[in-house]
């Protein structure tokens, strides 16, 4: 029945106003996994609670650096105490890297530095000059194809909210580059620095085992 507020008749709400017919859970997951874009706004909320998105307000003098990020040389002005997570998100626009705790506890900010999984919230940008930084945006192939870990995450419907997913993927990529055929316990250990508030740990383990070439889902030992 139509409501009546201040003398105005309001139309009946239609269900399809609230539910996109074209969006499936798998499509949502694919968007999160490719770039982290679907949950990037959450990262801003977390960040604003802990530090300023305007680095100049923190004081200090910015110096121009050139960083090797995702295979590109990126010049950027950086404060002495600026973290890599801040530089990536707020200066280079790479918001797939999330900020959760901003203190080295949750793993949401994980990137690889020279192939090693690293917390970007706990890494000073000045310390990674000349090193090879890879973020979730840098995983796609030359033709835009997903990395095998990203594809496996989709196949296993790994994420729930998706906030922790870029960090989980970067840790898994670093593992598989060093150890292409890990055991399930080795995967569990490699992802142990990545917390998931949704508790999707088994889904992530299944996905990494699939990406490691174990074919179908490996039984949970």
Cβ at position 214, least distance to ligand FES in Å:
22
Positions in the binding site for ligand FES (CB under 6 A)? 99-102, 104-109, 119, 121, 159-164, 196-198, 200
Cβ at position 177, least distance to ligand FES in Å:
21
Cβ at position 173, least distance to ligand FES in Å:
17
- Of the pair 70, 97, the CB lying nearest ligand FES is at 97
Beta-bridge partner residues of 66: 75
Tally the C-alpha atoms within 13 A of residue 51's C-alpha that lie toward its C-beta: 21
Q: Can you read off the two tokens belonging to residue 99?
A: 């900020």
- Of the pair 90, 163, the CB lying nearest ligand FES is at 163
- Of the pair 121, 152, the CB lying nearest ligand FES is at 121
Q: What is the dihedral of CA 113, 93, 196, 123, to 10 degrees?
A: 40
Phi, psi of 77 (to 5 degrees): -85, 130
Decide: helix, strand or coil at residue 73.
strand
- Of the pair 102, 156, the CB lying nearest ligand FES is at 102
Cβ at position 110, least distance to ligand FES in Å:
7
Query: How far apart (Å, rounded) are the C-alpha atoms in residues 86 and 107?
Result: 15
């Amino acid at each position: 029945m139509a409501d009546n507020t201040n003398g105005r008749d309001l139309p009946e709400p239609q269900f399809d106003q609230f539910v996109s017919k074209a969006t499936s859970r798998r499509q949502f997951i694919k968007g999160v996994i490719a770039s982290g874009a679907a949950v990037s706004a959450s990262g801003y909320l977390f960040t604003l609670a802990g530090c300023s998105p305007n680095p100049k307000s923190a004081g200090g003098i910015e110096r121009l650096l050139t960083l090797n990020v995702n295979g590109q040389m990126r010049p950027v002005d950086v404060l002495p105490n600026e973290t890599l997570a801040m530089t990536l998100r707020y200066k280079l626009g790479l918001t797939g890297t999330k900020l959760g705790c901003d203190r080295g506890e949750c793993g949401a900010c994980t990137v690889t530095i020279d192939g090693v999984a690293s917390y970007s919230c706990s890494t000073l940008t000045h310390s990674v000059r000349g090193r090879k930084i890879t973020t979730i945006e840098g995983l796609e192939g030359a033709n835009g194809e997903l990395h095998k870990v990203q594809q496996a995450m989709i196949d296993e419907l790994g994420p729930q909210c998706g906030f922790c997913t870029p960090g989980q993927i970067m840790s898994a990529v670093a593992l598989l580059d060093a150890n292409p055929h890990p055991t399930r316990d080795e995967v569990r250990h490699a992802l142990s620095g990545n917390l998931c508030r949704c508790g999707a740990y088994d889904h992530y383990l299944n996905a990494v085992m699939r990406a490691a070439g174990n074919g179908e889902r490996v039984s949970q030992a």
